[in-house]
Amino acid sequence: QLRRALMEGQLRVHYQPILGLSGTAGEVDSVEALVRWQHPTRGLVPPSEFVTIAEETGLIVPLGEWVLEEACRQVVAWEAQGIRLSVSVNVSGVQITQPDVVSRVAAVLDRTGVDPARVALEMTESVLMRDAEETLSVLRALKDLGVRLHVDDFGTGYSSLSYLKRFPVDAVKVDRSFVGGMAPGSFDTAVVAALVSLSHNLGLQCVAEGVETAEQLELLVQLGCDYAQGYLFCEPLAEEALGSWLDAHP
């Protein structure tokens, strides 16, 4: 069914806004591209129900490339409408280990004509550390294309700080499991504070995922976190609905 979905255009890309917390606070800086499956009988299926299958079967490679291309084309389309946004796209461990991953990304950038600086590739800590030396080589080649690199789910993996320092990444995203437990004086708040401080000391920007309450947002601002995304601001939306949301939330 998933193979047919790819062939028949049943997949959709939704976008969740990422807002600045300092400087131009409240401004939508970028969006994260998130895949959905418009199943003919089950309706809209979330990625949690099919990404693992895609990885196990290898379908994640064409699926991931399709999402990247759709997201890049959307950035170009928004630019034509006077909307300047960057986009971040998740890259799986299966994709990053493909011998032609760099040439695939380069081909998408070329086909869409997007400014590479407006594209961020997100990889989890666990993906980066599978074969750290080999991954480092791939990341450097991707960086040479002009794209940005983000570490997703930061704080949940087992990365070596020495490798994190060597990886040519631009930002880290604090995992929602820590953000969700934030409260004054809580353990999770202390963890987030440490992660924000660590990222800044390494010269990286810090993005908090899964922000759902005003209290969490206030604490993130106090800690100096750079960006935030979550249902407090907006759920992932289809392109048309996101355009309306942007118009209503300048």
The three-class DSSP label of residue 173 is strand
The model's pLDDT over 55-92, given as tens digits with 9 standing for 90+, comes to 999 999 999 999 999 999 999 999 999 999 999 999 99
Model confidence at 157, pLDDT cuts 50, 70, 90, reads low
The three-class DSSP label of residue 169 is coil
The three-class DSSP label of residue 181 is coil
The model's pLDDT over 6-40, given as tens digits with 9 standing for 90+, comes to 999 999 999 999 999 976 667 898 999 999 999 99
Output the average pLDDT for the chain.
Answer: 92
Model confidence at 183, pLDDT cuts 50, 70, 90, reads very high
**Which residues touch 105 (CB under 8 Å, ≥6 apart)?**
68, 121, 142, 145, 147
- The strand pairing partners of 30, in sequence order, are 18, 86
Is residue 62 within 8 A of residue 6, CB to CB? The reply is yes
Q: What is the pLDDT of residue 23?
A: 64
Compute the average pLDDT of residues 93-103: 93
The enclosing H or E element of 32 equals strand 28-39
Q: What is the pLDDT of residue 98?
A: 92
Rounded to a whole number of angstroms, the distance between the first and last alpha carbons of the chain is 40
Q: What is the pLDDT of residue 108?
A: 98
What whole-number distance in Å separates Cα of residue 131 and Cα of residue 127? 8
The model's pLDDT over 211-231, given as tens digits with 9 standing for 90+, comes to 999 999 999 999 999 999 999
